[in-house]
Structure 1
């Protein structure tokens, strides 16, 4: 019995080391980050803050943004103004507008793993089915009534709910979800996302509006549609 104790202790220590190593593995901040020598990756902050700065002169891309010299950081790097302004819901066919405040608009978000969005909906406006590949979304309704939902990975189960003013709903990371204004008045919501750059894949746009377009035979067979219908859908996007 005692001979097995050192073995169990060793396994426990290795398991703990592996879990700690995994916990500090940096999460992706873009769709991919191909390895290159002498590149720093994003992840757990190693100082109080790391204000983003765009460096177009460098051929090296990091998993996130380059850090601004801390001595040059100002309060404005942590400030954004304008979320009190309603979005233009008439600018698209779906009748919604999303104003995302991510690291591109608020440099102080760099490495902090959070962003914010204002969502405006015209009557019966829709934020169409989409995913955020790098962030969970927490939505709170400020005005109006929204039908919201998300679909799980296989088997594809739909979780849906009608939200009123003050209601909150969470959309788990990477899952297809939507918000639809079922009221006859404008609706407003705010969303927090667990990434400085959560990403956005709008399903219809990605499938029918990719550049270059996906092969007609692939889409026709996948959706069980006639090729003429697929071509029509591609023209819409």
Structure 2
């Protein structure tokens, strides 16, 4: 089991370093300073004094522990990005563990700053992503899907809507590498129906071509 996890992480790391989209570092490292301790805002994180850096700045424990999937979606994402591991600052890479209860879903979402490469460690997942709007208005967005098993790898291109669904009767989990120290995530339903303040009802009824009561019902699920 430990060997499988190690191989998974190595594959993810190699891919992510190759396709990193964040700016290249101009020094050996730039360990991040916590936002609440920073005096300025920059595109990324400001650097900790190199003389104060220790091995702990490059260390994150516990990714072998399953996440708590007792929620409405039946999934849990455990991120290891620059906010959890300051040593990732400027390195253009991060990692997540995703756990799924039986029939658990990581709902449709995007990462605005990263490509994601996922490797299944346990379970059976149905995954997919949707292309951006075609140039021809008569052509629909194309959906690519695949059923994955342990050891399988799948790539979700940067910025595209994607999802994972556990189609098995047992728990599942994966590791995924992302080509950004802070890839971001936009969960589509939460963003559209749960924004604060809410998106104007007229906008959503016209966008989705449904009755206003349907929109009100959907917004109520995300309060």
- The structure 2 residue matched to 1:221, chosen from 202, 206, 210, is 206
What is the TM-score with the length of structure 2 in the denominator? Answer: 0.85
- The structure 2 residue matched to 1:54, chosen from 6, 19, 34, is 34
What is the TM-score with the length of structure 1 in the denominator? Answer: 0.80
Q: What is aligned with 1:195? A: 180
Unpaired runs of 5+ in structure 2? 1-20, 135-140
Q: Relative contact order (alpha carbons < 8 A, sep ≥ 6): 1 or 2 greater? A: 2
SS in structure 1 at match of 2:220: helix
Unpaired runs of 5+ in structure 1? 1-26, 29-42
> How large is the RMSD of aligned CA atoms in angstroms?
1.2
1:157-179 superposed Cα distances (whole Å, 9 cap, x missing partner): 00100000000000000000000
Runs of 4+ more than 6 Å apart: none
Between the aligned partners of 2:25 and 2:117, the Cα distance in structure 1 is 23
Between the aligned partners of 1:54 and 1:83, the Cα distance in structure 2 is 22
Pair 151,224 (structure 1): closer, same or farther in 2 beyond 3 Å: same
Q: What is aligned with 2:93? A: 114
1:100-132 superposed Cα distances (whole Å, 9 cap, x missing partner): 100010000000000000000000000000000
What is the number of residues matched between the two proteins? 196
Larger Rg: 1
Q: Conserved in 1, the CA contact under 8 Å of 2:38 and 2:46? A: no
Tell me by how many angstroms 1:225 deviates.
Answer: 1.0
